[in-house]
């Protein structure tokens, strides 16, 4: 048998390194050796001598190496409606924008995805996700357009295939022409998983089952959506406990709060993550911790829509998996994730824990290892360790901003 070819190697040296591993290992000056898109070795000082087939050497002087940032909640299509309804709370904002969003088509979806992905990639995002839930009749292959844009950009990607079937006539917020039928949503979601989901190590494209929210989705779609996801072996995503209005809606419609409602429909578990989770009491946080349910923390969007301050320090202390999310650019405006690290730190210090709420290293962990855990990919990405994928970023820190 012929010997296998030596792997192609990239060597990064002379850089500060924050690994974000379990021990928060850091090197003031160190190296990373990448072999065929995986991290082969990492450490202090210079890279080992005698490495074969080195195709590129990168002098990391003046740079900090971190894991690539991981976005756990976004709505790419909202890129094209930024700056609208700027002084609304969530429910009024949705009512104002649903009629516009319901006219989206394949070309709009692709262009919006390109803009959203480019804005994140230039800010250090190597893994992105999109929760797309608006599928008007005759709009074309929206999921394919979004996945195609992510493929062209070279970003690792999860499409959370969303859906809505509770319209105004059923007591929901979306207009009647903006929703799918229960059967149609489930069939289209399964088709998207079958066509695009890759469960292998290092996959570039994965799909999650993602009914939109309690106020736009029937209980039956929630229940059958959870059953579908588990039958197909994919993750589940939705919005949860974002506003006081949502909590009131759940009590009026279901006779219970959002977390109890999610549990009653099969929506708590290690394969589930939810966006926002602002209005969580001690019992809710305990339920998330007990079941391993994850949270996508979106501090800028929560502030933009006056939703409130999520109890992130309490979630972390309880053991809840927490990552960071941009949310839609129409409720974030910048469309960036790297700015969310700073906003997560600052906004959480406005809460009960004040200056002890979060520190910079915890914020970096939210945007990297935390996001990997939330997306179910902690064994592949989120920290710089031998055997993991070489999804990493070099941040230039020798300019005037860091002088």
Indicate the DSSP class of residue 39.
Answer: E
240: nearest Cα among 131, 108, 107, 88: 131
The answer to the question of residue 335 being in a domain is: yes
Same domain, 363 and 328: yes
CATH of residue 171: 3.20.20.140
Q: Which range of residues forms the domain containing residue 35?
A: 9-67+385-402
Same domain, 305 and 343: yes
The answer to the question of residue 25 being in a domain is: yes
Same domain, 41 and 78: no
Q: How many structural domains compose the chain?
A: 2
Same domain, 63 and 73: no
| H helix and E strand count, the chain | 13, 14
Same domain, 255 and 176: yes
The answer to the question of residue 2 being in a domain is: no
Same domain, 258 and 370: yes
The answer to the question of residue 380 being in a domain is: no
* pTM given for the model: 0.95
Same domain, 288 and 324: yes
Same domain, 179 and 212: yes
Same domain, 35 and 130: no
pLDDT for 316 equals 98
What does the block give as tokens for 36?
């065929």
The answer to the question of residue 75 being in a domain is: yes
SS3 5: coil
Indicate the DSSP class of residue 279.
Answer: S
The answer to the question of residue 17 being in a domain is: yes
What does the block give as tokens for 272?
């589930």
- Altogether, the residues listed in the chain come to a count of 403
- The residues of the chain scoring below 50 in pLDDT are none
pLDDT for 3 equals 53
Phi-psi region at 22: left, alpha or beta (left = phi > 0; alpha = psi -120 to 50): alpha
pLDDT for 66 equals 98
Distances from the Cα of 193 to the Cαs of 24, 198, 332, in angstroms?
36, 9, 28
CA 374, 379, 380: angle at the middle one, nearest 5?
A: 95
Same domain, 63 and 74: no
CATH of residue 21: 2.30.40.10
The answer to the question of residue 131 being in a domain is: yes
Same domain, 220 and 303: yes
Same domain, 44 and 174: no
Q: pLDDT digits over 311-365, tens only?
A: 999 999 999 999 999 998 777 778 899 999 999 999 999 999 999 999 999 999 9
CA-based max dimension of the chain: 70
């Amino acid at each position: 048998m012929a010997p296998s070819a030596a792997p192609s190697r990239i060597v990064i040296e002379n850089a500060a390194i924050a690994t974000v591993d379990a021990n928060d290992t850091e090197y003031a000056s160190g190296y990373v050796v990448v072999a065929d898109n995986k991290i082969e070795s990492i450490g202090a000082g210079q890279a080992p001598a005698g490495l074969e087939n080195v195709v590129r050497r990168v002098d990391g002087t003046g740079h900090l190496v971190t894991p690539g940032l991981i976005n756990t909640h976004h709505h790419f299509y909202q890129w094209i409606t930024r700056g609208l309804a700027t002084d609304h709370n969530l429910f009024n904002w949705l009512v104002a924008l649903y009629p516009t969003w319901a006219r989206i088509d394949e070309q709009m979806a692709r262009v919006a995805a390109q803009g959203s992905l480019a804005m994140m990639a230039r800010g250090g995002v190597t893994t992105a996700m999109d929760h797309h839930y608006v599928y008007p009749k005759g709009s074309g292959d929206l999921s394919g357009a979004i996945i195609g844009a992510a493929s062209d950009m070279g970003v690792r990607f999860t499409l959370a295939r969303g859906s809505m079937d509770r319209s105004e006539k059923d007591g929901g917020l979306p207009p009647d022409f903006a929703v799918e039928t229960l059967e149609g949503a489930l069939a289209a979601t399964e088709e998207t998983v079958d066509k695009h989901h890759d469960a292998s190590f290092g996959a570039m494209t994965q799909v999650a089952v993602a009914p939109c929210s309690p106020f736009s989705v029937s209980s039956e779609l929630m229940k059958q959506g959870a059953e579908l996801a588990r039958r197909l072996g994919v993750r589940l995503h939705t919005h949860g406990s974002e506003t006081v209005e949502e909590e009131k809606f759940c009590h009026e419609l279901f006779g219970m709060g959002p977390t109890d409602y999610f549990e009653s429909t099969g929506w708590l578990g290690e394969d589930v993550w939810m966006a926002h989770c602002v209005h969580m009491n001690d019992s809710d946080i305990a339920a998330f911790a007990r079941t391993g349910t994850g949270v996508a923390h979106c501090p800028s969007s929560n502030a933009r829509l006056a939703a409130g301050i999520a109890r992130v320090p309490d979630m972390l202390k309880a053991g809840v998996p927490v990552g960071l999310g941009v949310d839609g650019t129409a409720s974030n405006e910048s469309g960036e994730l790297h700015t969310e690290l700073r906003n997560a730190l600052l906004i959480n210090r406005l809460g009960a824990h004040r200056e002890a709420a979060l520190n910079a290293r915890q914020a970096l962990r939210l945007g990297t290892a935390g996001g990997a855990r939330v997306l179910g990919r902690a064994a592949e990405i989120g920290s710089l360790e031998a055997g993991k994928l070489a999804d990493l970023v070099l941040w230039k820190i020798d300019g005037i901003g860091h002088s």
